[in-house]
Structure 1
Amino acid sequence: MRIEYDAVVGSGAGQWYGQLIVSNLHYEDDSSVQVNQYLAMTFNAPAAVTDTDIYLAFDKSWVETTVTVQSVQIDTNLFSISATVDFAEPHSMDPNDQITIAVNGDLTKDPDSYLNSFVIAADASPDVNGTAAIACAAVPDPALSSVAPVIQFLRGSEITPVTLEYGATVNQALAQGDYTIQGGNVSTIDQTVSAPLVISPGQLTVSTGETIPVNVSFGTVQRSSAIDIVIDTLTGLESETLDVKVVDVANETTLAAFSSKTGTTTQVRLLPPSGNAQIRIGDISVNNVDYRFTDVDVVLANQLQTVPITNSTVERTPVDSSGFVTVPIDITADATLPQQITLRLSGSSMNYTQTITAETQLTRFDIPVKPDTYTVSAPDFLFDGTVYEVDTPAQLIVDSVAATTLEVSIETSANLNVPGFPSYLSFGGCADLTPGNQADFVSARATSVFKYAGNDGAGDPNTYLTDDTATTSTITLARNVEAKLGGQSVLPVMISYTCNLSQGDTKSILANTDQHAHSFANLILTLNTANDAIDSTHPIPAGIIVNPDFIGACQQGGIPATYAMPVRQPLQTALEHWSIKATIPDSITEDVTGYVAAVNWLVQTVAPAIVFGWQINLWGLGRSEWIYEDADPLDIAQQTAAYVDNLAVYSGTWKPHFLAIDRYEADDFTQRAYVNGYCYGPREWGRYFDFCQGMSRALKLPVMPWQIPASRTPNTADPVNTDFDSQHWGTGGSCILGDPAIGADYHNVHPTILALQFPSSFQADMGATAEDMFIRSEPFDISQPAYTDFPLRGIFSVLLGGGSTTGIISTVGNPEPWTRNKLNAYMDNPIRFDTASGRHR
């Protein structure tokens, strides 16, 4: 029999908190509910619920209970809650027994949707399931008989995959609720035969005890050809990149085009199922030899073919070098390293490469160079975890008469081995400290978690805190994730304000002595809390990012380094509050530079084991819209770095370890982002990372992109709502982690997204629509991750997500597992700082 109940929203409920109170449990025949072992229930709530949020009050006899809760996000403000209450002894529920559920969300909006959602059972799981009876049509082509169709039922962050059987019906139990059904093509592994799934209906509502039919049939079978083009390691072209085209001989249409290093295999798929094609490789001239490639004929067929490109495909013709000249190379290096570097001269009719050793020396090109104007390139490189910047002139004019010397400098830049972080490019994310965080971080194999310290997350400037539960809970979360990952190090990173300039009114806040004292003291509390977590396996207990927006707001406001503000008195007050007997150095002055030094000194005095850094913004020069324009990101970085240097942030005795660089914490296709002028395409993300590289080079610091949205761009097969704001779509995840579903063609983006109109005030920079944004980025290809060159840019770690932005956890932003799956796969072979390859500048 079904258990009935009474439920109300407790008095005092508001926008951020309320209580659901359940009482009068009885069966539908009015008999009492006897609980022998446990009471189980499911219900909906506007926020996640934890084990400690549910408690029972008994009217007549007290019983010891233990509560276990699971929360699954269905939509932005809708969670499906499953709770089990274990009873220490049997108990007959009295009508006045109450179950109180604390909810950190708004129960005042549509309360009936929560009050009427309870399904309760005694000593059994609640019967909340219905059934989808999925009838699959016969196999559309014999070639697909071994490829089982798979569809997915999507309900918020829950994805239920179902493998179908051709010509049969599969019954799938599903919890009550609304579902979207997706399914891709069925295809052979080489994509020579495929058929799209036709699913009806595409959305359904499952009710308890009901069976709903779903029909899966197939669209027209599509046939194509496939080629694996295998380019050998060609003599004389070992370090070259070749331009390759596959052309339809009948009409000269380009069927595929790509660049390829020698010694690689490129898979070319979805070519016409029949006809004649040619593989054409662009001729190239290198080191006084002309290389001409013979076109390779291919008869297309509905099958996979392997086409080798070998030395026999290449005709080599030495060039007459009469009149060519010797070009000396003058190398100045910070260090002598066993590192080989390839210099490249790219000219109008000839290219030259020369391998040099990373040391101060005078050498030359091994062969004479044709007089011409050349573009010069040389890769930066990593050695023992340190980035080395190889600098050359952008152009070199080789004259037939006057001697020309190529000047090369090799400078030490950022050391990426930041204490507490792994010796490879790592990813972490924002935590909201709800129960599902641990499983999400484990699923992503994250190496760090971050959270704002204190109660208000902004330094709590009007009170002295006595306990920093945010820091304690974040450290506990990190340790629990470590345990689940078999000991992989996971660093908790706290965000701490001692002066919050994020809301403006810079000069008034800089002048507020009392607020500085409170926030200095609260930073000490965070540091002491972290110190308490030091043990033999955690000598570095936590990381700290101090004062987001402080440097940016001061720079934007034209605040000079000598701008007067109270420093020593509030710092002394904070030290005395915690009975810390330390003498403030005389070099800490009563101005902005002194304030920065005070923060650095305080961190290293109270918690010398802590790893920490400051944060900067894109808008320090006054506006962030330069990212859409043609301004050189390296020039913007140089100006920003000059201000950082002027404040002596990374100078003196108490130097921080790294620099965090904020984009803007919002998913690009949400109003929080694009209404405020932040919606990046592949071009803008590339320029953002150029800015990060410029900051690293200018300050010789390891940098951390921070609060980066990990949301992906929906493709044409994704279910995009007409009002898609709550779905938290974006571009950061797709560009950074790679998204073959979008690839190099913006037409793969869902049309509803492409039609998004940007605010008129930003259209001059952003374009009128999201489609304009993608067109502005052409040519682009986000099939592969952007992170492959991050270490060479000086980037040692990336922290994803934020309080309202998609990251790693499923309780904030887009709940789907896409980002977690991408990061998990990355951790199979992370980019180590001692093996990252060079990158041409």
Structure 2
Amino acid sequence: MTMHLPLPTRLSTALGRALSSALSCALLPTVVSLGGAALWMPAAQAQSYNSGGSVPGWPSFIAMGAIGGPNITPPTGNSHGGNDDFGGRPVDVVFKYAGVNGNGDPGVIDPPTNAWRMTNDLTTLSQINAHPMRVAIVEYTAQMSGGFNTDDFTNGPPGQASGTPTASYLMGRHLSSLAADAQMLATYPVKWNGELFQGSLLMNPDLLGAIQQNGYIGTVNAALPAGAVDTAIAQALCLMTTSRSYTNHSNPNGLPSAPYLGKTYTGTPVQILQALLADTYPVWSIDSQGDAYWNTAINNQTSGSTKSQVGQWFDACVANPAYDRAKYRPPVFPAGFDGWVQANNWLIRALAPNDSVTFGWQENLWAAGSGFWPHQTLTNKQVASTFSTPVTNWLKANAPSAMARGGATGVHFVLFDRYEMDDSAAPGAATLYNARSWDNVLTAVGQVSKNFKNLPVMLWQLPGSHLPNTKEPQPQLFQDTPGAYVFSTAPVYFFGDANLTSDLSNLIHGPAGGSTNTAVGNYKLDCSAFAYHCLNANDTYGQYLRQYKGLPNNYDWSKPHGKLALAAKKNVFAILWGGGNTTNVIKNFSNSDDHGWLAGKIQQYYTNPTPVVLH
């Protein structure tokens, strides 16, 4: 029986994206005072923050990350409520969706302001926390999180994209946006302690999974005939690598004088943007629809038929895509989906050479047909036949460039997304994970990694809440409702929770017959073979959590059981937590921070982080 992932699960990444777009061992930790706030920071770090890992520029230990985004005001040691307010809660990387709407903004050449603003935030935070951080930007050069479409593969006058019929040259604009982010991250990295901490690009969540799960590959291949991608690459290179001059007469703040008024800037569009922002040109204007230099409206129009300067330059590149062909020599990309993937990869490496920006494509745990498969008792061979082999075979046949490492078009890693939800959010969408489930996931991603020459693995958007229990004074409430709770297992699986009794007797057990949020330990699962596959038909969630290796009462959640070391053996190099509506390390969108539970676990982890495994 083939089971497809329920629609709400597949849309959850899009929902979180929209929300997030709004608005070996160390010495014991020490506490310092900065601005009146007590901050955690390590006294020393034996393992490298910036080398020796399986991915260039990443730590030699499994990195920890979180969702964030540009602050309106600079973060401090005790600020709260900002998207990047990680003062006192160090992580190694903060990720954010590119652009305005978080869906790739079809028809818009997005300015790389998120990367610029976050680099400023994280440089400040690295100093505050005495712990370096990196920027990761989630890129959509095509997206199917909300359902099938080939709009993003069109590249012509208005009318070709059904979702945005007034938009023109979507593929060329998408690739130009990607180029801008790659250039910004490469030339404007986080700086700390005399070192540069380069950023990363996370490519096209849900795209590979949706195409495989739904059999879209034939239609997608047909949408990308020979020469189509080459033309879009030429347009992006023309726009983003050509040096031009721009005299600024825009005065968004209405100032009587400003360094940028009447000044002529020379360079590529990103270089000019960097110079404008360095001269205190307001970033809010660049992020608006009406800025004269670079704006965020469809076709980069400011009003009527008028376009921003970047929009005008792009139009000129459509008419004549000239660029330095001695310096930039793109290959002839083959027709079809993999040629398009190659083009994305090549563009990043051409504009951010020498691994100055690392990147990888996202794959889904539901790509092989259903999100429920991890909830079965499976041998390694059964995990392979259920997930790893069909996913590997599909990728090798249809998108090998998304997994090929190194060279002119190779990636640095692959990221896997369970889907962005706390476990308690949608039990009908396979969100209730126990230790067996997470073991299966690690086995699966390790197998896929091995099938592609031990390609490093990032676990992305894992839910950051924990198991609520009677020992803690304030378990995280669901929507601030007494008697309703938010919970997940991933952090407890990796870190353990000494507050839990070994038999889970102090797990909150609410009234039977209620929702996951109210019943918690007494929640009645769908224990069928095609859902959660419990040992007994009437098992509760509390009983299900204790089931392990085919036995009842066989897992102790108070201990970590070496699961981070297991993840390292499966080639995991980073775990990124949270989402726009999923528990995070800090509370910065509609998510919660679980009263700092995960932040505390990560701080403790940094005193003895888990080394990555090198091959």
TM-score in terms of structure 1 length: 0.47
Aligned to 2:430: 677
- Structure 1 residues 594 and 743: CA distance shift in structure 2, 3 A: farther
Query: Which amino acid counterpart does residue 505 of structure 2 have in structure 1?
Result: H
- Structure 1 residues 416 and 483: CA distance shift in structure 2, 3 A: closer
2:555 and 2:440 map into 1 onto residues whose CA distance is: 13
Match of 1:745 among 479, 498, 503: 503
2:482 and 2:103 map into 1 onto residues whose CA distance is: 30
Aligned to 2:284: none
CA contact (8 A) 1:660 1:705 kept: yes
> Does the alignment pair 1:462 with 2:107?
yes
Match of 1:563 among 221, 232, 246: 221
Aligned to 1:428: 65
Query: Which amino acid counterpart does residue 358 of structure 2 have in structure 1?
Result: V
> Does the alignment pair 1:627 with 2:341?
no
- Structure 1 residues 815 and 715: CA distance shift in structure 2, 3 A: closer
- Map Cα deviations across residues 440-479 of structure 1 (whole Å, 9 max, x no partner): 53433311111111111221112122x3322222212221
Query: Which amino acid counterpart does residue 424 of structure 2 have in structure 1?
Result: F
- Structure 1 residues 726 and 809: CA distance shift in structure 2, 3 A: farther
- Post-superposition shift, 1:640? 1.3
> Does the alignment pair 1:756 with 2:393?
no
Match of 2:568 among 782, 788, 791: 791
Match of 1:576 among 226, 238, 248: 238
- Structure 1 residues 432 and 726: CA distance shift in structure 2, 3 A: farther
- Structure 1 residues 725 and 425: CA distance shift in structure 2, 3 A: farther
2:236 and 2:373 map into 1 onto residues whose CA distance is: 40
Aligned to 2:605: 826
- Post-superposition shift, 1:707? 0.6
1:508 and 1:433 map into 2 onto residues whose CA distance is: 29
SS of match in other structure, 1:706: strand
- Structure 1 residues 586 and 826: CA distance shift in structure 2, 3 A: closer
- Map Cα deviations across residues 200-258 of structure 1 (whole Å, 9 max, x no partner): xxxxxxxxxxxxxxxxxxxxxxxxxxxxxxxxxxxxxxxxxxxxxxxxxxxxxxxxxxx
Larger helix share, 1 or 2: 2
- Structure 1 residues 523 and 508: CA distance shift in structure 2, 3 A: closer
- Post-superposition shift, 1:764? 3.9
CA contact (8 A) 2:189 2:198 kept: yes
SS of match in other structure, 1:495: strand
> Does the alignment pair 1:642 with 2:287?
no
CA contact (8 A) 2:459 2:574 kept: yes
1:725 and 1:642 map into 2 onto residues whose CA distance is: 47
1:693 and 1:775 map into 2 onto residues whose CA distance is: 24
1:680 and 1:483 map into 2 onto residues whose CA distance is: 37
> Does the alignment pair 1:804 with 2:581?
yes
Query: Which amino acid counterpart does residue 627 of structure 1 have in structure 2?
Result: P
Compare relative contact order (CA 8 Å, sep 6+) and give the higher one, 1 or 2: 2
1:535 and 1:711 map into 2 onto residues whose CA distance is: 29
* Paired-residue identity, %: 25
- Structure 1 residues 416 and 551: CA distance shift in structure 2, 3 A: farther
1:473 and 1:501 map into 2 onto residues whose CA distance is: 28
2:151 and 2:69 map into 1 onto residues whose CA distance is: 31
1:607 and 1:832 map into 2 onto residues whose CA distance is: 27
Unaligned runs of 5+ in 1: 1-75, 77-103, 106-383, 386-414
CA contact (8 A) 2:546 2:555 kept: no
Aligned to 2:461: 707
1:755 and 1:460 map into 2 onto residues whose CA distance is: 44
2:486 and 2:114 map into 1 onto residues whose CA distance is: 26
CA contact (8 A) 1:423 1:832 kept: yes
- Post-superposition shift, 1:602? 0.6
- Structure 1 residues 637 and 457: CA distance shift in structure 2, 3 A: same
Aligned to 1:698: 451
CA contact (8 A) 1:506 1:553 kept: no
Match of 1:774 among 526, 538, 545: 545
1:535 and 1:659 map into 2 onto residues whose CA distance is: 23
Query: Which amino acid counterpart does residue 132 of structure 2 have in structure 1?
Result: S
1:454 and 1:787 map into 2 onto residues whose CA distance is: 33
- Post-superposition shift, 1:545? 0.8
2:522 and 2:557 map into 1 onto residues whose CA distance is: 20
SS of match in other structure, 1:460: coil
1:432 and 1:750 map into 2 onto residues whose CA distance is: 34
- Map Cα deviations across residues 76-108 of structure 1 (whole Å, 9 max, x no partner): 9xxxxxxxxxxxxxxxxxxxxxxxxxxx89xxx
Aligned to 2:3: none
- Post-superposition shift, 1:689? 1.5
The residue correspondences of 1:400-479 to structure 2 (distance < 5 A) are 416-434=53-71, 436=80, 441-465=86-110, 467-479=111-123
1:512 and 1:715 map into 2 onto residues whose CA distance is: 54
- Post-superposition shift, 1:587? 3.7
- Map Cα deviations across residues 422-452 of structure 1 (whole Å, 9 max, x no partner): 1112211111445535885343331111111
- Post-superposition shift, 1:644? 2.4
The residue correspondences of 1:16-35 to structure 2 (distance < 5 A) are none
Query: Which amino acid counterpart does residue 810 of structure 1 have in structure 2?
Result: K
- Structure 1 residues 780 and 542: CA distance shift in structure 2, 3 A: same
Aligned to 1:598: 343
Larger strand share, 1 or 2: 1
2:197 and 2:585 map into 1 onto residues whose CA distance is: 23
Instruction: Tell me the matched-pair count.
Output: 425
Aligned to 1:490: 133
Query: Which amino acid counterpart does residue 773 of structure 1 have in structure 2?
Result: Y
2:433 and 2:413 map into 1 onto residues whose CA distance is: 25
CA contact (8 A) 2:456 2:573 kept: yes
> Does the alignment pair 1:543 with 2:301?
no
- Post-superposition shift, 1:573? 2.5
2:443 and 2:483 map into 1 onto residues whose CA distance is: 29
- Structure 1 residues 728 and 538: CA distance shift in structure 2, 3 A: farther
Query: Which amino acid counterpart does residue 703 of structure 1 have in structure 2?
Result: V
Aligned to 2:183: 528
- Structure 1 residues 576 and 826: CA distance shift in structure 2, 3 A: same
1:569 and 1:725 map into 2 onto residues whose CA distance is: 58
Aligned to 1:653: 408
CA contact (8 A) 2:67 2:96 kept: yes
TM-score in terms of structure 2 length: 0.63
SS of match in other structure, 2:458: strand
- Map Cα deviations across residues 722-757 of structure 1 (whole Å, 9 max, x no partner): 957975322222112211223542333210211235
- Structure 1 residues 625 and 763: CA distance shift in structure 2, 3 A: closer
Q: CA RMSD in A?
A: 3.4
- Structure 1 residues 833 and 763: CA distance shift in structure 2, 3 A: closer
SS of match in other structure, 1:451: strand
2:135 and 2:384 map into 1 onto residues whose CA distance is: 31
2:451 and 2:70 map into 1 onto residues whose CA distance is: 37
- Structure 1 residues 687 and 748: CA distance shift in structure 2, 3 A: farther
CA contact (8 A) 1:729 1:814 kept: no
Query: Which amino acid counterpart does residue 470 of structure 1 have in structure 2?
Result: N
- Post-superposition shift, 1:549? 1.3
Higher-Rg structure is 1
2:141 and 2:206 map into 1 onto residues whose CA distance is: 11
- Post-superposition shift, 1:540? 5.1
SS of match in other structure, 1:691: helix
Unaligned runs of 5+ in 2: 1-18, 24-46, 157-168, 243-322, 511-519
